[in-house]
Structure 1
């Protein structure tokens, strides 16, 4: 297959918000307990957090993390997780039918996030609670001193207020499964009033209102319209969620779901524009895609398990063994977020450790990277800067999820700070190499810095990294790509992901 690509310095999409490479972690399964936190672990620090997991997290350079849920947050009492541990109640978590010890709460998690160099994005319970609880939580977290809740925080040993700018107004409130599920207008009114109360604490606070839990909901996209008509002028982002799978084992249709996601984003961008025009509003609302990932390998069995088990503590739940195909999919989805960075400003991989996660950690044992860790890491490290328009002229295919899909999935980012162009390319073809010719115009003195590759070596698409073989699939040095007369030329093997970095004068 031959594919021609054109990239020009002057044809740009948007400045990428660094928070496009954020993460999410919930009190669910083993994400917190024996995930990031395990006091008896050989690598545990004095606060009980695992250093081996922390090292893997740090290497991702995650800008922000959404916490503590997720479905968990819709019945969560944040006060249960503050003060002396011996005084904290054990609660039954209705979302995942498990036992919550509250050994990790806001203050412990904030300490971990600081060590990891990650900004917190806190979610508020608008399921069983409301404005008063939200106001108190924000006061406890970010007000300096001299009030009941801020002084209570100080009495718990936290003198300095947390610099939390992002607050999520509930979680998936469109979902009938959600504790406290509401109709769109009802939720929109509550979100509007809660956002106003939260923003009273500072002019730089941003709020995220709940959009659709996925684009297959019966209420999509009417939910977004009704919610935004109630709260548009008092919020900054609307959230989107979507999980992906390949239960049919149709590789090309799986990859085509990335195009489906682009339509999802484009549709909600249209709803945002419609409501802004209808309200004659001055402000802009952007998209926060704050839950996304591959989730299907154990989904059916996990669903049966958690609905029937008897309130276990930190149970095994949603622990996916990701394969090469999943890694290529994640790389492509991150490319789509780059291509849509004019509308999508924040995106959170869900979740970070153990639960549908790029990082796995065994109780008392080792921590390791799943296959999806690496494209996520490459995008986070090298996908910051200006997203460039990329024109692709090459073979295409039709699938159930989308038609006219390019076999080449490619995105490019210009980093003026580092004087570099990073190209992220996936050859989606299961069996054909791709002859690539990329004309890069408007830049002088291009030279290849690095080419890293996953796949393309005959490894089957469903070979996974596992506990017993954690390094089976890792990036390696690529070959067969070179800069010739200002163009990037070479071959991308079938079923491969490439990071190509170019320096310029």
Structure 2
């Protein structure tokens, strides 16, 4: 058994736990919207067609924000097609996912769903096939009280009060050649800056996200951020980051170390943003919206869109079935996001329902939790107050992608109001358990209130509609506190949460 030690001190604060870290993503892709969050006629559906079982699971997941409506989809989206009388809305071809968009669910439906689920909306504008004017029209529709064409159109559609949406994404992955309206960094930077400037003329209180690189492996990564922020720095609040991970060729050790890449990604984007800040001699600091992240097996058959004359509505797309190792990696990526809370001010797990998602549904049938649901829900529920910087001593594991990597990945949060201390820990070891020893001298008099671990001797176990509970997190009875030291055993390929409270 490996042995690892962690020292926790209340003085070493990284930054606050940000509720926006626990965002997700709803795109018009596959079955995320249709038969996902929206299925009129389903036995749990309300009068607006929203699936009640999905609403309940969304609340249980602890979602804070939801990014909408894309994603690649937004770069060809005409938002005004999906407002007003449903029977008058046109059907359109969605070039991003080779599907047909019926437009029976649009801005007003999404906003009603967001209000009902208790989440903050994060709206994206189309800077692929459209530009400044269309972004202004959507902002006017959403945020202006009345007295103008689009604001009055919203009121005519039955929504008297403005939505006052705060967060807006200036396009999506415009560095990617797969993107409709793909642009060079200079082309995108110019339209993003002018769109941001104009949008602030309508509503100075909005927060704007400029497109960063769609992955750190893009050949333009780094230079894209520099060029975009040089042009947009004074007009935006965030730059986006996107990253997806998967187990490649049976290399479980590298997969379990995915958060190493996320940490490096955040550090590189932050450094680039700060370089622009220094060069421009500005006081303002740009932060990161990590608004797409997850495990995604992009080469699997379910990730391949239809072809030819087949343009279906809501096809089965990107419906990855997650196993225990996938859930451990999702838990580790959440640890990374918290650990970088000084620079990552918002994040969105992609996506919420059916499409690489923690929640799955069957049309006309049940909704159920994937393995990745659990670390997200528990971290969202228990991470409060401040994120602490830990001193960690851990054995290492050799990986093909990242070299030697500590087998323990961990972060802690502390709520000064209650005194609660919560430790989140991943054992990346493929074969060995960890005997964890936590020095709590900075937090005298604590006791274990709750300790749970997600693990299984078969790390490939997957949840199904018939059995989604066999490998839910289980109590970790090894967690004990004595003499201001907490000790616990962490099995290999596991994610754990230990909540400590005043005795």
TM > 0.5 between the two?
A: yes
2:101 is aligned to 100
In structure 1, what is the equivalent of residue 54 of structure 2?
53
| CA drift at 1:409 | 1.0
Mapped to 1, the partners of 2:418 and 2:85 lie a distance apart of: 46
Output aligned runs, 1:487-498, within 5 Å: 487-498=485-496
The secondary structure found in structure 2 opposite 1:341 is coil
Match of 2:472 among 471, 474, 479: 474
What secondary structure is seen at the aligned counterpart in 2 of 1:306? coil
Spell out the pairing of 1:424-443 with structure 2 (5 A cutoff).
424-443=424-443
Return the alpha-carbon distance in structure 2 between the equivalents of residues 145 and 208 of structure 1.
26
CA shift for structure 1 position 202: 2.8
Alpha-carbon distance in 1 for matches of 2:436, 2:7: 11
Q: Relative to structure 2, which stretch is displaced further, 216-225 or 395-404?
A: 395-404
SS at match of 1:498: strand
Superposition deviation, residue 245 in structure 1: 0.6
State the SS of the aligned residue for 2:333: helix
Q: CA deviation at 1:102?
A: 0.4
| 1:247 positional shift | 2.7
Q: Which residue of 1 aligns with 2:415?
A: 415
- 2: CA distance, partners of 1:470 / 1:83: 39
Counterpart in the other structure of 1:6: 7
1:322 is aligned to: 322
Q: Which residue of 1 aligns with 2:372?
A: 372
Residue in 2 aligned with 1:142?
Answer: 143
- The verdict on how the C-alpha distance between 1:19 and 1:4 changes in structure 2, with shifts beyond 3 A counting, is same
How far 1:417 sits from its partner (Å)? 3.4
> Is residue 448 of structure 2 the alignment partner of residue 448 of structure 1?
yes
1:423-455 CA-partner distances (Å, limit 9, x unpaired): 111111122111111002322321111011111
The answer to whether the 8 A contact 1:322-1:465 is kept is yes
**3-state SS of the aligned residue for 1:424?**
strand
SS in 2 for 1:461: coil
User: 470-479 or 179-188: which moved more?
Assistant: 470-479
Deviation at 1:303? Answer: 4.5
Contact 1:97 1:309 in 2 (8 A): no
Residues 311 and 495 (structure 1 numbering): CA distance in 2 closer, same or farther, change over 3 Å?
same
- CA–CA distance in 2 between the matches of 1:200 and 1:383? 37
CA–CA separation in structure 2 for the residues paired with 1:413 and 1:242: 24
State the TM-score, normalized to the length of structure 2: 0.98
- Cα deviation 1:448-478 (Å, max 9, x = unaligned): 11011111x52x1111112332223211211
Unaligned runs of 5+ in 1: none
Contact 2:123 2:165 in 1 (8 A): yes
CA-CA distance at 1:308 after TM superposition? 4.8
- Structure 1 window deviating more from structure 2 (192-201 vs 152-161): it is 192-201
> Is 2:454–2:495's contact at 8 Å kept on the other side of the alignment?
yes
- Once the two structures are superposed, the pairs formed by residues 12-411 of structure 1 within 5 Å of their partners are 12-296=13-297, 299-308=299-308, 310-411=310-411
User: How far apart in 2 are the matches of 1:286 and 1:346?
Assistant: 9
Q: Once superposed, what is the RMSD of the aligned Cα atoms?
A: 1.2
Kindly state the Cα deviation for residue 309 of structure 1 after the two structures are TM-superposed. 6.4
* 2:481 pairs with 1:483: yes
Instruction: Please list the CA deviations of residues 212-245 of structure 1 after superposition, one character each: whole Å capped at 9, or x if unmatched.
Output: 0001101111100001111111100000101111
- Cα distance between partner residues in 1 of 2:216 and 2:226: 14
Summarize deviations over 1:357-416 as a string: whole Å, max 9, x none: 000000000000000000001111112321101111121123122133110111101122
SS of the residue 2:10 aligns to:
strand
1:502 lines up with 2:503 in the alignment:
no
Question: How many pairs are equivalent?
Answer: 502
- Following the alignment from structure 2 to structure 1, what is the Cα–Cα distance between the partners of residues 81 and 299? 30
Contact in 1 for aligned 2:98/2:305 (Cα 8 Å): no
Report deviation, 1:61: 2.2
1:154, distance to aligned residue in structure 2 (A) = 0.3
Whole-angstrom CA distance in 1 between matches of 2:80 and 2:386:
42
Q: d(CA) in 2 for partners of 1:139 and 1:347?
A: 26
Q: Deviations over 1:7-30 (max 9, x none)?
A: 111011111221011011100000
Contact 1:39-1:47 within 8 A present in 2 as well: yes
- The SS at the match of 1:401 is coil
TM-superposed CA distance for 1:152, in Å, is 0.7
How many Å apart are 1:50 and its aligned residue?
0.3
Query: C-alpha distance in 2, partners of 1:251/1:308?
Result: 37
Q: What residue ranges of structure 2 are gaps of 5+ in the alignment?
A: none
